[in-house]
Amino acid sequence: MNIDSIQNGIIIDHITAGKGMEIYQLLDLAKLSCMVALINNAHSAKMGRKDIIKIDSNIELDTDILGYVDPNVTVTIIRDGKVAEKKHLSLPHELEGVLHCRNPRCICSVEQELPQIFRLTDEKKRIYRCIYCDSTF
């Protein structure tokens, strides 16, 4: 089973097998009116199995969420049937509105209008800390 190339759109490739659905839901792709394909367990020479998401439109993608969930992912932007851009993601330095502080005494738990912001403090261990109270996620 193969998926043909798209003319204008986005390919999220090299997703760790099993994580495609999580990314699909975090990016809220079910709400799009364009064609979207989620392929689980595609063959991959490098990874054995991988998931792929193809979006038949050039939407704005939240690469911070993508990088956080699966930093090995590659994002390819297709315009007029040609590769216009290829992005390799990494763990984002800062995450806003993705993680939620679990410290009930943190100022961001009390003041609901404050944005939930976390900063990467240890890249190897993937540790993010709340910028207000320093709690880890």
Stretch that binds a copy of itself, among 32-40, 80-88, 94-102, 119-127 (CB under 8 A): 32-40
CB 88 within 8 A of CB 34: no
Question: Which H helix or E strand runs over 15?
Answer: strand 9-16
- Given the complex with a copy of itself, which of 22 and 64 has the nearer CB atom? 22
- Given the complex with a copy of itself, which of 40 and 76 has the nearer CB atom? 40
Choose, by CB under 8 A, the member of 16, 26, 47, 56 that binds a copy of itself. Answer: 56
73 is a contact residue toward a copy of itself (CB under 8 A): no
Question: Which candidate, 40, 58, 59, 60, places its Cα nearest to that of 50?
Answer: 40
Beta-bridge partners for 51: 15
Q: Structure tokens of 81?
A: 């049937």
Number of chain residues interacting with a copy of itself (CB under 8 A) = 26
Choose, by CB under 8 A, the member of 16, 26, 39, 135 that binds a copy of itself. Answer: 39
45 is a contact residue toward a copy of itself (CB under 8 A): no
The amino acid at residue 6 is I
Region for 58 from its dihedrals, namely left if φ exceeds 0, alpha if ψ lies in -120 to 50, beta otherwise:
beta
The footprint of a copy of itself (CB under 8 A) covers 1-6, 9, 18, 21, 29-30, 32-43, 49, 54, 56
